[in-house]
């Protein structure tokens, strides 16, 4: 590991989608490690409650930014915070995400554009903003929450996560020697609010495929600290993604949807 990249306790971490699911777990574990946290999410009330919990439990200073990251003004607010040289951000976690339950042809194109903007454009823009100061300081860590779906041909969610995976791999190669480690985290099914908000029937996946958020985040932070470009939490998903790379696409794409 590059000696410049070991973020010390007391440094600042900014987490998007920080009030629920993996984002909330990243905030908890980073606060537990002694980092100050900047929490970004849409709901100001949940942000305040999460910040108070972290401050009370871990004694960690918690700043909040209420922002919709599918909106240009919301993105600009977070970019401005990342670009503030007086308050450097040493760790960026691009976690905010949404899912689309229906097929591509059934979704409104505005929904698809919002989905793509959040997963690709927003993550790219925040990474670009964070890198400016990190490269000057020759120190920084960036975690992009992708998915095992990035390895599978399954609609626009998979396509967006595949972009994030490829981007993170390239960025880690490009910037590791300059002190910045970039990791794409690719969890499988994880017990969070994500699937509930989609309205997904969680029984479609067998129990053995479900992971706990604490495990996913713990492995992600450890892999990022080691300078790994890709983190696939759990042995079972490491095996599944390895197998998916050699099987024909028609076998890993899932069953075809019935025509209406």
User: Tens of pLDDT along 81-125?
Assistant: 999 999 999 999 999 999 888 889 999 999 999 999 999 999 999
Sign of CA dihedral 147, 151, 154, 159: positive
Q: How sure is the predictor about 233, in pLDDT bands with cuts at 50, 70 and 90?
A: confident
Which has more pLDDT, 114 or 9?
114
**Mean pLDDT of the 191-217 span:** 63
The pLDDT mean for the chain works out to: 86
Active site residues: 157
The yes-or-no verdict on residue 70 having pLDDT over 80 is yes
The yes-or-no verdict on residue 187 having pLDDT over 80 is yes
- pLDDT the model gives residue 195: 47
- pLDDT the model gives residue 244: 55
Q: Which of 168-177, 225-234, 247-256 has the lowest mean pLDDT?
A: 247-256
Question: How much of the chain, in percent, has pLDDT values that exceed 90?
Answer: 70
The yes-or-no verdict on residue 126 having pLDDT over 60 is yes
- pLDDT the model gives residue 151: 87
Q: List, in order, residues 6 or more apart from 245 with CB less than 8 Å away.
A: 151
The yes-or-no verdict on residue 194 having pLDDT over 80 is no
CA distance 105 to 259: 11
- pLDDT the model gives residue 197: 55
The yes-or-no verdict on residue 40 having pLDDT over 70 is yes
Q: Specify the residue for token string 């129990």.
A: 207
Count of CB atoms within 10 A of residue 258's CB?
5
pTM above 0.95, yes or no: no
The yes-or-no verdict on residue 55 having pLDDT over 80 is yes
First to last CA, the chain: 53
- pLDDT the model gives residue 191: 52
- pLDDT the model gives residue 2: 41
**Mean pLDDT of the 156-164 span:** 95
Q: List, in order, residues 6 or more apart from 15 with CB less than 8 Å away.
A: 23, 26, 27, 30, 37, 38, 39, 40, 93, 95
Strand partners, 127: none
Where does residue 207 rank: exposed (0-12), middle (13-18), buried (19+ CB within 10 A)?
exposed
Q: Which of 123-132, 196-205, 230-239 has the lowest mean pLDDT?
A: 196-205
């Amino acid at each position: 590991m590059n000696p410049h990249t070991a973020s010390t306790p007391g440094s600042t971490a900014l987490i998007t989608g920080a009030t629920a699911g993996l984002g909330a777990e990243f905030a908890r574990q980073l606060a537990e490690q002694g980092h100050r946290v900047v929490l970004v999410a849409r709901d100001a009330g949940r942000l305040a409650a999460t910040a108070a919990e972290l401050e009370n439990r871990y004694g960690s200073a918690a700043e909040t930014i209420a922002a919709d990251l599918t909106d240009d003004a919301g993105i600009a607010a977070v970019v401005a915070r990342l670009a503030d040289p007086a308050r450097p951000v040493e760790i960026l976690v691009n976690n905010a995400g949404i899912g689309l339950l229906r097929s591509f042809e059934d979704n409104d194109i505005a929904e698809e554009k919002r989905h793509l903007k959040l997963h690709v454009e927003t993550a790219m823009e925040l990474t670009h903003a964070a890198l400016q100061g990190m490269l000057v300081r020759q120190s920084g860590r960036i975690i992009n929450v992708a998915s095992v779906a990035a390895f599978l041909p399954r609609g626009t969610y998979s396509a967006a996560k595949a972009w994030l995976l490829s981007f993170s791999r390239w960025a880690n190669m490009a910037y590791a020697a300059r002190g910045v480690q970039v990791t794409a985290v690719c969890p499988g099914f994880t017990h969070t609010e994500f699937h509930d908000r989609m309205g997904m029937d969680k029984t479609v996946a067998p129990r053995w495929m479900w992971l706990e958020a604490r495990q996913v985040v713990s492995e992600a932070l450890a892999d990022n600290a080691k300078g790994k470009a890709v983190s696939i939490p759990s042995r079972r998903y490491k095996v599944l993604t390895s197998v998916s790379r050699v099987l024909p696409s028609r076998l890993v794409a899932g069953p075809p949807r019935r025509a209406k």
